[in-house]
Structure 1
Amino acid sequence: MIAGVCAGIGNHLDTDPTVIRLIWAALTLLSLGTGIIVYLAAWVLIPEEPGGETP
């Protein structure tokens, strides 16, 4: 919910973002925090949705 990474992945896969968040959290706990680094990388690499921000 910080950067919309899981929502974007869920949108792309036609899945509920909550499911993606739960899977991501479980994998982060099981991988001793590697998921946090992957999340930050995804935040930088995944492009923003066009028209996402309004002035």
Structure 2
Amino acid sequence: MSALVRPRDGRWIGGVCAGLSRRFGMSAAAWRTIFVVSCVLPGPQFLIYLALWLLLPNEKPASTAW
């Protein structure tokens, strides 16, 4: 498992689902589907997504060796 960060590639909106998919070894499409389906249920899903978007750091760019 890798660190929980928002990756620079594979993002759609904020990169939260892509980051969760990398961390837990699931596909990003599965996380996106879970999020969209959960939005029809009552609860703070959208607020949790926004909080993760603000709190998760961006993935650091790969350093180039000179």
Shared topology, TM-score over 0.5? Answer: yes
> Is 2:19 the partner of 1:5?
no
Q: Structure 1, unaligned stretches of length 5 or more?
A: none
Residue 31 of structure 1, CA deviation: 2.0
Which residue does 1:16 correspond to in 2?
27
User: CA offsets per residue over residues 1-54 of structure 1, 9 Å max, x none?
Assistant: 21100000001111100000101111121125x2111110000111111118xx
Where does the alignment leave 5 or more consecutive residues of structure 2 unmatched? 1-11
Q: Quick one: which amino acid aligns to residue 17 of structure 2? A: C
CA RMSD of aligned residues (A): 1.5
Give 1:1-55 correspondences, 5 Å limit.
1-31=12-42, 34-51=44-61
More helix by share: 1
> TM (normalized to structure 2)?
0.69
2:3 matched residue in structure 1: none
Bigger CA radius of gyration: 2
Per chain length, whose mean CA-contact separation is higher, i.e. which structure has more relative contact order (CA < 8 Å, sep 6+)?
A: 2
Structure 1 consecutive aligned stretches of length 4 or more whose deviation exceeds 3 Å: none
- Residue identity over aligned pairs, in percent, reads 31
